[in-house]
Structure 1
Amino acid sequence: MIKAKTRWNLAPWSKEDEQSAEQLSKSLSIPPLVAKLLVQRGYREQEAAETFLRGGEDRLHDPYLLKGMKEAVARIQKAAEENEFIRIYGDYDADGVSSTSLLVHVFRELGYSFDYYIPHRALEGYGLNNGAIDLAAADGVRLIVTVDTGISAYEQVEYAKQLGIDIVVTDHHEPPEQIPDAVAVVNPKREDCPYPFKGLAGVGVAFKLATALMGRPPMEWTDIVCLGTIADIMPLTDENRVLVRAGLARLSNTDNTGFRALSEACGIELNDVTSTTVAFGMAPRINAAGRLDHAKRAVELLTTGDYDEAIRAASSLDVLNKERQRIVDGIVKEADLQWQGKREAAQAAASEEAAVIVLAGEGWNVGVIGIVASKILERYYKPVIILGIDPESGMCKGSARSIDGYDLHAALTACDELLDHYGGHQAAAGMSLHRDNLQAFEVKLGELAMEWLTEQDWIPKTAIDLVCSIEDASVGTIGQLALLEPFGAGNPSPRLLLQSAELSDYRTMGKDSRHLKLALRSGRTALDAVGFGLGQLSEQLQTGLPVDLVGELSINEWNGQRKAQLHIHDLYFGGALARFPEREHFGKVYQLLKRKQRIPVKGLETYLSEQCGWPEQTITVMLEVFLELGFIAVEGSHFVVVEAPQKRDLGTSERYQEAKREADRLRSPYVPNEVMA
């Protein structure tokens, strides 16, 4: 038996949904599976579905719906008219780099007098700081425009005003109770902001500012917007979907010198670029600059027109990314050992292990601790805080990642008295505190977890869109799934459930037989399934029995052939115990018994198993049911078929019901949220 690694949550589906999908399939001329996925994601009306599939620039919202946009534009234009020096102030992550780079291009186009500044992650930390404001004053800056930062900088804005510097804040992070008293604060998440879409990245807000300043959406720079939006894991719905789709199209044929250099240095094929390419190929290298060196290296890459300069910058980012990977691996090992030590200590004290994983170490590079937190969360599925300790000052800088149900921003707010600074949202956050407060911090976070989370919240979940048949998984349909791209947060790649697929063959592949390849069948239709890193499961499989799989469909191209394939995320194989015969199978075995009339008990299960294909354990259950119902009897060492037995339904047998309940218990680890009604 192979148990699933996660709890499977199959999205609800009703007859009304089925009818809506049928109508969409006909009206839009799309495959039924694509239509079902559209309905599942909330696009059940033709107009909404068509907008989702084909909506373009015309679906972008008016930037002046953002509260503060009018004041922001007026102040920036005043600075331009009076030739005041403007400083763009960004953040050091990929969203901040993208936001900064976008405004560099826009301000150049508009002829402004400006430069940009991004704080050093290790030396200055996140956000506006008074030292950087002092530098701005010394450089004659009269206006600072923040991008992807500033919403929590109330004190820093007040300090800047004392030095005669105005600040326009553009940000997308959760606003605190007291927002800065700046010339303008543009953030769609402000409670008093009527903007219809709250999911913009920092670069998305910068794009809206650029749109207002230029009087048109600057679609020529959507490649940069695409990078920041994907890297910051913003929902790829509404405007973000339009911007990212346009950005991917531009990337495939970009004239941005930096992107072309980055693709060459890192082996990225721009003509086949996808959201996955951006997330796992480009974003880590852009982020590496701010993590290990200075984020201005990445801004220089995205804003230069000199190819030689760009290729040098891209190559250095690639080297930094490799170094980042090495550092992350080292910290993960140390953090894991520290956590194992905490678990062992709790076990020795006969107490529960910590509900929230809080790990801290001297020398841990604060530029990569967010990645470390994500990796530890994947291993243990608990909220995780990883902190680097400055041994001289005792100050800790941390990064957090969370699970569903545990709101990090709310938790940090509840720990406000222990923290020097914090910010973020439900799933990810950052903070700083003194090491003397670490123990109290860990205890408080754990208490909140036990208060907020239910028993089910501690089990990792796999969200499933739909049940899919092998017949549905054709090359043509899989090709049509591309209509739903780009995939990412808010619009994930469709995750499908294949129920009781017959396992016709299986084998391992790859070095050390690490991977698993399954051949599935339904009637005359076949489908391959591949599970990377699942090779060890092959010893527990058995052909001819059903297997349940969750995965994503793709097309495998090999030697000029294109075949449908399922990329396995999780699987369940109950083996013989979980496979329960239908009534006709009981009937077939009974007919075999009737032909013999009198059969020796010894070896009967083996004989019947060979004749009908059911495992001997199941045959034993069938015989017990027949005995209970009076269809057969035992005479000495033989089974005999009872002549003219009383007609009784299988369901009246207690043994039948017991066996069926046990099989049901062993079935797949999911319960549909709603059956067809």
Structure 2
Amino acid sequence: MSHKIIRRPHVDDSHLPSSLPPLLKQLYARRGVGQDDCELVLAKLLRPDTMKGLDIAAKIVADAMQNQHQILIVGDFDADGATSTSVCLLALKMMGATRVDYLIPNRFDYGYGLSPEIVAVAHSKQAQLLITVDNGISSIDGVNAAKACGMQVVVTDHHLPGHILPNADAIVNPNQPDCQFASKSIAGVGVAFYLMTAIRAELRQRNWYELQGIEQPNLAVLLDIVALGTVADVVSLDPNNRILVQAGLQRVRAGRCRPGITALLEVAKRDPSKIVAADFGFAVGPRLNAAGRLDEMALGVETLLCDDIMRARRMAAELDGLNQDRRDIEAGMQQEALKSLQTIALDEATLPWGLALFQPDWHQGVIGILASRIKDRYHRPVIAFADAGNGEIKGSARSIKGLHMRDVLERINTMHPGMIIKFGGHAMAAGLSLKAGALDTFKQVYDDVVRDILDYEQLTGELMSDGELVAANMTLDTAFMLRNAGPWGQSFEEPLFDGFFNVVQQRIVGEKHLKLLLETECGQLMLDGIAFNVDMQTWPDATIKQARVVYKLDVNEFRGNQTVQLMVEHIEPM
């Protein structure tokens, strides 16, 4: 796929502290960092009292604890759901709750969220209070079923609500109408953490800890889990989310994190003392997610809850195996998808703007990742469908900049009532169910709606560069400064630089990765570079002597030596 390289303009950075290095000042200013956002300390977290419904929810949970009611946490089957569930379970137990358990629907049997079927399971477990985490805002029928069984329901979620809200006893979701909480992009685990802090304060007012003869817990010990869920759910790293992630990373680097996270970092061959946010996103998160994608997410939750490092290592090894299975399944599905696209992909003009793909044998648990991979390859919004049984197919959607996926599905639903059985999600990712027979019609309508919203230029991927890095800045000191200046992530992109280099050496390593020796144009400096998953039809090519390279400045550690390495995101022969 071709990329348009756009250099970010120079902006005024005079509002930022003069103690910051000039390069970092400019990078921060371009990403909208204000004077107050430079210091990522917990004291600067947004106040809980601006989150609508939090006080009511805290009172309901505190009452349930005092009355010894059975509390059941109902989570979602992804990394955000697993971390949210773990945070609630650990926090409530730390606060002295004795009757608390969790339930995560198996996605293949029950689908997503608090469904009436899951309520029946909860009822059989004698649950009296249900707390949903990372789901529930669209569970109208499920909440009604729970109320009919005499249960109380507290919904905590961060997904966008529909026109009708569930009839819960309390709803905590910054995206619900009239909620003043400024961080609309907080993850489900962040919402759960805020609720736990509100419950702790409510119990303090009731002298609960003295009456129980326990210490008031320090909930900051759970921030490693909060950070993991926030990064793994790919929410925008606004200032509040950056504070939560930074606090969690600091715990991990200091060797004070949960045994389960330590064990997951070990199987991913990451050094906890040097961890960055991307390690949560690309190494720990996928292994945790693999449980929910292929099996039961309970394995992921149990890994996070585990206090014994040896047991945690056994579970992490199992998750690592599941993740390898997931990658194998996904690779096969990706080949099939690309093959079916090839017939039309040869001519860019006939390729649909909105891609909808289906194969009957595709695995439900992996279609989201497949959609993401195809989207990256063709820079078009993609929905991948899998057979869900009972004449239905389930789709997982991934979008591109400029197209709000949930709004697209809402529009299709308005134009063709009944075609979509159910849907939900965010701007960049969503899920839906269809009657299998409606797929062809849906494909056409979906493509039409996408064409109506986007301009053709938006189908070309953009790489936002922070410009050329002078040779004097291509140092280990700069690489370490950039590493420590994060956490970088969604909507707070890690700096990319671009420049023209002489290609001195090139060879393929690990089947499809390009190892490079690059020389700066003026010949001042020689640097190692690595480009992952290159186009094998272009590289290696001994005739290519010059290239424009878009890269991240990174530190390569090998046998105790540290050297500067360019992590190549894009390379164009000149």
What TM-score do you get using the length of structure 2 for normalisation? 0.90
Looking at structure 1, the residues matched to 379 and 246 of structure 2 have their Cα atoms a distance apart, in angstroms, of 32
Looking at structure 2, the residues matched to 571 and 140 of structure 1 have their Cα atoms a distance apart, in angstroms, of 59
Give the secondary-structure state (helix, strand or coil) at the position aligned to 2:494: coil
CA displacement at 1:438 relative to structure 2: 0.5
Contact 1:99 1:206 in 2 (8 A): yes
Matched, 1:555 2:555: yes
Among candidates 540, 544, 548, match of residue 541 of structure 1? 544
Change (3 A) 1:330 1:75: same
Contact 1:527 1:564 in 2 (8 A): no
Looking at structure 1, the residues matched to 223 and 294 of structure 2 have their Cα atoms a distance apart, in angstroms, of 27
Change (3 A) 1:381 1:542: same
Contact 2:71 2:100 in 1 (8 A): yes
Matched, 1:181 2:180: no
Matched, 1:407 2:404: yes
Give the secondary-structure state (helix, strand or coil) at the position aligned to 1:456: helix
Which residue does 2:451 correspond to in 1?
450
Change (3 A) 1:42 1:101: same
Letter in 1 for 2:63: K
Letter in 2 for 1:360: F
Letter in 2 for 1:196: A
Among candidates 380, 383, 395, match of residue 382 of structure 1? 380
Change (3 A) 1:59 1:517: same
Contact 1:211 1:217 in 2 (8 A): no
Which residue does 1:467 correspond to in 2?
468
For residues 428-485 of structure 1, what are the alpha-carbon distances to aligned partners after superposition, in whole Å with 9 as ceiling and x for unaligned? 1111111111111111110011111112111111111233222332332222223421
Among candidates 2, 9, 18, match of residue 5 of structure 1? 2
Looking at structure 2, the residues matched to 441 and 502 of structure 1 have their Cα atoms a distance apart, in angstroms, of 47
Looking at structure 2, the residues matched to 572 and 135 of structure 1 have their Cα atoms a distance apart, in angstroms, of 56
How many percent of aligned residue pairs carry the same amino acid? 32
Contact 2:115 2:141 in 1 (8 A): no
Where do residues 267-666 of structure 1 align in structure 2 (5 Å cutoff)?
267-341=269-343, 352-390=350-388, 393-416=390-413, 417=417, 418-498=419-499, 501=500, 503=502, 505-508=504-507, 510=509, 515-521=514-520, 525-532=524-531, 533=534, 536=539, 538-542=541-545, 547-557=547-557, 562-574=562-574
Contact 1:210 1:217 in 2 (8 A): no
For residues 9-37 of structure 1, what are the alpha-carbon distances to aligned partners after superposition, in whole Å with 9 as ceiling and x for unaligned? 212225xx2xx35x74xx44332211111
Among candidates 134, 139, 146, match of residue 160 of structure 1? 146
Change (3 A) 1:565 1:313: closer
For residues 367-396 of structure 1, what are the alpha-carbon distances to aligned partners after superposition, in whole Å with 9 as ceiling and x for unaligned? 111011111112222211111114x52210
Looking at structure 2, the residues matched to 221 and 559 of structure 1 have their Cα atoms a distance apart, in angstroms, of 34
Among candidates 59, 62, 76, match of residue 44 of structure 2? 59
Contact 1:549 1:572 in 2 (8 A): yes
Contact 2:189 2:229 in 1 (8 A): yes
Change (3 A) 1:356 1:308: same
CA displacement at 1:296 relative to structure 2: 0.8
Which residue does 1:35 correspond to in 2?
25
Looking at structure 2, the residues matched to 512 and 426 of structure 1 have their Cα atoms a distance apart, in angstroms, of 35
Give the secondary-structure state (helix, strand or coil) at the position aligned to 2:492: coil
CA displacement at 1:504 relative to structure 2: 7.6
Which residue does 1:200 correspond to in 2?
186
For residues 239-290 of structure 1, what are the alpha-carbon distances to aligned partners after superposition, in whole Å with 9 as ceiling and x for unaligned? 2111111111212313522223333444332222221221121111111111
Change (3 A) 1:326 1:506: closer
Q: Which has the higher mean CA deviation after the structures are superposed, 222-231 or 334-343?
A: 334-343
Letter in 1 for 2:436: R
Which residue does 2:56 correspond to in 1?
71
CA displacement at 1:538 relative to structure 2: 4.1
Contact 1:146 1:170 in 2 (8 A): yes
Give the secondary-structure state (helix, strand or coil) at the position aligned to 1:174: coil
CA displacement at 1:557 relative to structure 2: 4.4
Give the CA RMSD over aligned residues.
Answer: 2.4
Give the secondary-structure state (helix, strand or coil) at the position aligned to 1:367: helix
Contact 1:506 1:538 in 2 (8 A): no
Looking at structure 2, the residues matched to 307 and 182 of structure 1 have their Cα atoms a distance apart, in angstroms, of 39
Letter in 1 for 2:438: N
Looking at structure 2, the residues matched to 466 and 211 of structure 1 have their Cα atoms a distance apart, in angstroms, of 43
CA displacement at 1:57 relative to structure 2: 0.9
Looking at structure 2, the residues matched to 310 and 568 of structure 1 have their Cα atoms a distance apart, in angstroms, of 35
Instruction: Give 4+ residue runs of structure 1 displaced > 6 Å after superposition.
Output: none
Looking at structure 2, the residues matched to 29 and 9 of structure 1 have their Cα atoms a distance apart, in angstroms, of 29
Looking at structure 2, the residues matched to 279 and 471 of structure 1 have their Cα atoms a distance apart, in angstroms, of 31
Which residue does 1:134 correspond to in 2?
120
Contact 1:157 1:181 in 2 (8 A): yes
Looking at structure 2, the residues matched to 431 and 301 of structure 1 have their Cα atoms a distance apart, in angstroms, of 30
Where do residues 210-289 of structure 1 align in structure 2 (5 Å cutoff)?
210-215=196-201, 218-252=219-253, 253-289=255-291
Change (3 A) 1:57 1:505: same
Give the secondary-structure state (helix, strand or coil) at the position aligned to 1:494: coil
Looking at structure 1, the residues matched to 370 and 352 of structure 2 have their Cα atoms a distance apart, in angstroms, of 18
Looking at structure 2, the residues matched to 307 and 573 of structure 1 have their Cα atoms a distance apart, in angstroms, of 49
Give the secondary-structure state (helix, strand or coil) at the position aligned to 2:150: coil
Give the secondary-structure state (helix, strand or coil) at the position aligned to 1:525: coil
> Structure 2, unaligned stretches of length 5 or more?
202-216
Matched, 1:123 2:109: yes
Give the secondary-structure state (helix, strand or coil) at the position aligned to 1:415: helix
Contact 2:88 2:192 in 1 (8 A): yes
Letter in 2 for 1:243: L
CA displacement at 1:140 relative to structure 2: 2.1
Contact 1:31 1:477 in 2 (8 A): no
Looking at structure 2, the residues matched to 209 and 263 of structure 1 have their Cα atoms a distance apart, in angstroms, of 28
Contact 1:464 1:497 in 2 (8 A): yes
